[in-house]
Amino acid sequence: MARPIVYFVRHGETDWNRERRLQGQHDIPLNALGRVQAARSGELLRGLVERDGRAFADYDFVSSPLGRARETMELIRATVGLDLAEYRTDARLMEMSFGHWEGFTFAELQAREQAQLLERERDRWGFVVPGGESYALLQTRVGAWYDGLKRDCIVAAHGGVCRVLMAHLRLLERDEAVRGGGEIGQGCVYVFDGNSVARHE
């Protein structure tokens, strides 16, 4: 049986993204560029759906409940002419919690969390951030969400969610998914078909 197709959009830029601060589950709004990126993702989605001979009614629309993802989803829907409110949220798509590190840059953490940062470098996948989560824990909830999908969907969520989805589908090895694989882009669309992922921008 074919796996559902997921059109995945990372939320647009926030000021904390620009400053390279760990956002995790802090609710930071989109900035002006982020709103442009979200609308651009909507334009890309329209082209991809038309290319595939489909209609938006064929898809489930689901977002992380965090504000930056919801605003992204609503800007996408506005761009393609859909009712802003006709989507659902799923808490399993929230970004990985960075616990006590949220709000800091890694440069700022170097002075106070050096031993923990070294531990994280040894096991990026399994390291549990103080007061937060690990990528392994994030994969547990994201994997449960994906494995329960019944239809193709359009998703607005987060960079960490995209990384663990790549690992869950064995498109990248775990270490490569969280260390390499490039930046998870904003203002683009990742199409997961279960066997591969393609980035469109």
Strand, helix or coil at 161?
helix
In the block, residue with structure tokens 């290319």: 51
Q: Which residues, in sequence order, are CB contacts of 84 under 8 Å at separation 6+?
A: 74, 77, 78
Taking the C-alpha atoms of residue 201 and residue 8, their distance in angstroms, rounded to an integer, is 12
* Nearest of 158, 120, 163, 159 to residue 139 by alpha carbon: 163
Task: Exactly one of 13, 71, 74, 95 is catalytic; name it.
Answer: 95
Tokens standing for 14?
């926030």
Strand, helix or coil at 6?
strand
Instruction: Find out whether 188 and 159 touch, Cβ atoms under 8 Å.
Output: no
Instruction: Find out whether 71 and 29 touch, Cβ atoms under 8 Å.
Output: yes
Task: Exactly one of 11, 74, 102, 113 is catalytic; name it.
Answer: 11
Residue 11 known to be catalytic: yes
Sheet holding 197-200, edge to edge: 88-89, 60-63, 153-157, 6-10, 189-192, 197-200
Residue 95 known to be catalytic: yes
Active site members: 11, 95
